[in-house]
Each structure stands twice: as C-alpha cells, then as structure tokens.
Amino acid sequence: MNGMKIAQIQSHVYSDKMKNLEQLDRQMEELAWRKPDLVMLGEMFCCPYETKLFPVYAEPEGGPVWRELSRLAKGYGVCLAAGSVPERDGEGRVYNTAYVFDRAGRQIGKHRKVHMFDIQVEGGQHFKESETLTPGDKCTVFDTEFGKVGLCICFDFRFPELARKMVLDGARLILVPAAFNMTTGLAHWELMFRSRAVDNQCFVAGTSCARDREAGYVAWGHTLLVSPWGDVIEEMDEREGVMVHDIDLSYADKVRAELPLLSARREEVYR
C-alpha cells in the first residue's frame, strides 16, 4: 500500500498543556470527514518553546499527554505523528521526544532529538537546548502500513548524515516536526527541506507550530510538504491552519530508478 493521505496541523501553542490537547481533539474532529491516514503536529506543540519550561512540562512516556495522544489516534482511526513533547525518563533526564501512534493507539515510533539546538547568530537568534535537554542517540525509522517512515526533530534535519541513514534504512517519507525561528526560517527553511528531499529522493514533511509574536520564541511557521523530485507540494504561511495531501510513496521508487543517486553511491571513495 503506497498511497496515503497526510494532514499537517500548524497550531497555536497555549501555555496550558491540556488546552493544546483539547484544541487538537477539535482539529482532528474537523479533519475526520477528509479521512486522513496520517496526522502530523509541530515540535513542542503542547509546550512553549523555552528551555526553562521543558523540565516543567516534561512527563514520562505513558503519562497524561501520551495517553491522550494514544486515545486520539485510536478514536479517530489515524496514524498520529504527535509532533514532539518534553519527556522525562526514570533518572530525571529531559528529552525533546516525538511519539508516533498507529490507528489502534499503539506506539509504533519514538525519536529523541539527537542534535541540541545550541546557536548564537550575531544580530539574530540565541538558543541553547542543552541547558535543560539531554540528546538522544538513535536514528529513527519505524514500520507503518505504508512502509518504512523516518522521523527526526528540527535541528536534526540539518545534518545530512542522519537523513541519509534513514533513507538507507528504508524510509521513503521523512517526518520532521520543527520550530525554525525568524532568523533561520527566512534563510534556510525551504532550502533545507528541498535539499534533503532531492539528495535522498524521498517525501519530506516539515510541520511547525503557528507564529505567535507574543511568545518567548517566535516560530517561523510555513509548514510544508516536498516531493522526492524537490517540488514544494504546498507551503503554508505563518498562521494557524491545516494542510491535507494525497501522496504516493511509490513515486520515490520511480525517481530513484530514473535518477539513480542512491544506487550509484561510491562508499569506498567517501570513506
């Protein structure tokens, strides 16, 4: 089964964690008539994107947010790629974690952000995730009814090695919940997603939360979907909204056969 309908929700982030989940329930109810197979959310969709707040909002896997996401996936009969949330492990470490649930509400994927967003752009943006977050250490590809899907979070996608490994592990679609800012978004958002799609000949879905000028961290928005040929299928603006598209993952196979980048690699040279 290669055909699938993907819905990407670019939502406003409230300071009330559960209010964000109530909003998600309404959004999924409104989407139900369009019968999406996969619903995708943005990075930290239920938590203001501020390092000091990640430990405050963090919950263990299986906590209230996790249970509600599982319930929504099952209730609406969709695969839910639930953006990312702050996760606390048994030793008190906090991670930026993306969960994925199948149509029965079972967790089928989990990715802890590997690369910490620690930047200092002169005249632009300063941010340091490592002040409160611990990096993950795995490349994530999970099985779905549509085949293998890759998953990473925002800054992870700037590292070509990670995207290539997901594709070599079988991914024809890579999901990237993300939160670029007003400096990096303008410069690199579309450029990066199109580059990764072209280099790896796969579909790429980048989903952001909506822009909030009053927030401590102002997200770029511009949720987008890119084809294996590098075409932007659609890109939103900065406002709240939903984007729904039918895609056929076999198109990745077609592009790879016609322009054999992956099969023509010379690994012995690159080493």
Higher pLDDT, 216 or 79: 79
- Per-residue pLDDT band for 121 (boundaries 50, 70, 90) equals low
Mean confidence (pLDDT) of the chain: 95
pLDDT at 124 over 70: no
pLDDT score of 48: 95
Q: Mean per-residue pLDDT for 202-221?
A: 95
**Catalytic (active-site) positions:** 43, 113, 154
pLDDT at 217 over 80: yes
Higher pLDDT, 209 or 217: 209
pTM over 0.75: yes
What are 223-267's pLDDT values in tens digits?
Answer: 999 999 999 999 999 999 999 999 999 999 999 999 999 999 999
pLDDT score of 188: 96
Q: Mean per-residue pLDDT for 12-18?
A: 96
What are 138-160's pLDDT values in tens digits?
Answer: 999 999 999 999 999 999 999 99
pLDDT at 20 over 90: yes
How much of the chain, in percent, has pLDDT values that exceed 70? 97
Residues pairing with 8 in the sheet:
40, 243
What does DSSP say about strands 173-177 and 147-151: parallel, antiparallel, or unpaired? parallel
